[in-house]
């Protein structure tokens, strides 16, 4: 079993999260779970997915608050600014 969990938060007002773009989440176990439990987070949680494919993309067994995002809904999460990428990601190599 695999768990991908959210980072620790000091309070419930942090605007942060994960955004997986153009990648495969794989492992050797039979199941993978994404999320973090806790009263503070559950009150403020937004879980959305967009354009997913593969065996794990079946939404029939998702929690009730999970949302399938439209193109417009997903747009803010498809930018490096969502994860403040300019502060920690290396720029593409110039050839």
Spatial separation of the C-alpha atoms in residues 33 and 1, rounded to whole Å: 8
Q: Tell me, what DSSP letter sits at residue 64?
A: T
Confidence tier at 73 by pLDDT (50, 70, 90): very high
Confidence tier at 69 by pLDDT (50, 70, 90): very high
Confidence tier at 18 by pLDDT (50, 70, 90): confident
According to DSSP, the β-strands at 32-34 and 2-4 are parallel
Count of alpha carbons within 13 angstroms of residue 74, beta-carbon side: 14
List the domain boundaries for the chain: 2-9+26-81
* Predicted structure pTM score: 0.63
Nearest CA among 47, 39, 45, 48 for reference residue 14:
45
pLDDT tens, 34-50? Answer: 765 555 556 667 788 88
Average pLDDT over residues 72-93: 82
Average pLDDT over residues 25-36: 71
Average pLDDT over residues 46-63: 82
Query: In this predicted structure, what is the pLDDT of residue 30?
Result: 73
Query: What are the tokens at 72?
Result: 């417009």
Beta strand ranges found along 1-95 (DSSP E): 2-4, 32-34, 47-49, 66-68
């Amino acid at each position: 079993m695999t768990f991908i969990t959210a980072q620790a938060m000091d309070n419930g007002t942090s605007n942060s999260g994960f955004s997986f773009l153009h990648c495969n989440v794989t492992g050797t176990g039979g199941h993978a779970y994404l999320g973090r439990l806790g009263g503070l987070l559950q009150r403020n949680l937004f879980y959305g997915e967009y354009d997913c494919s593969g065996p794990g993309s079946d939404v029939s067994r998702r929690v009730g608050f999970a949302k399938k995002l439209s193109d417009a809904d997903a747009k803010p999460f498809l930018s490096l600014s969502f994860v403040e990428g300019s502060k920690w990601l290396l720029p593409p190599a110039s050839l």
